[in-house]
Structure 1
């Protein structure tokens, strides 16, 4: 799937990534300020969850497009598509 084709669908993902970018900047500032470990780890975990959710949303959007394309694909192409999607899911696991 070409991400440019799904740009409108991925607007919320881009917004989520921008928030995560801000959270990561906040974590860096917290470390530099010597904030308590518990606070830093809490914010780092929140940023990590935001990145995971963004990744899953991208995969879900791609899956939606791929399933549409798979209906028209030959069996060998469907297997290649399945393998690519499996690899993407495992990359976020």
Structure 2
């Protein structure tokens, strides 16, 4: 596996989103330790879960848009269909 630097334009946004989720997660731990209501905690957990899922989705789509394209290179239309279908179905991740 190639361990060289590998960044895309979406990576800074993903990092910001994950750092924000990390802060929220830390506050959730404090909420639990402080005995806050379960509804409040569940709402915050849901927000963290969505933030992490969106970060994952962005990363995967970015990979498909850049790395897969680079690996596949130019393809004739009939062979390109599989890659386009894969990209389309990935939106349901």
TM over 0.5: yes
Cα deviations by residue, 1:20-39 (Å, 9 ceiling, x for unpaired)? 00011011000000000000
Q: Distance in 1 between matches of 2:70 and 2:36?
A: 49
C-alpha RMSD over aligned residues:
2.9
Q: Distance in 2 between matches of 1:58 and 1:4?
A: 15
- For 1:6, the equivalent position in structure 2 comes to 7
Cα deviations by residue, 1:50-92 (Å, 9 ceiling, x for unpaired)? 000000011011001112321258xxxx9xxx7xx79xx5xx9
Are the equivalent residues in 1 in contact too, given 2:10–2:58 (CA < 8 A)? no
Q: Distance in 1 between matches of 2:62 and 2:4?
A: 9
- Structure 1 residue runs of 5 or longer lacking an equivalent are none
- Structure 2 residue runs of 5 or longer lacking an equivalent are none
Q: Distance in 2 between matches of 1:3 and 1:52?
A: 26
- For 1:29, the equivalent position in structure 2 comes to 30
In the superposition, the TM-score normalised over structure 2's length comes to 0.70
In the superposition, the TM-score normalised over structure 1's length comes to 0.70
Q: Distance in 2 between matches of 1:11 and 1:2?
A: 19
Q: Distance in 2 between matches of 1:60 and 1:51?
A: 14
Give the count of matched residue pairs: 80
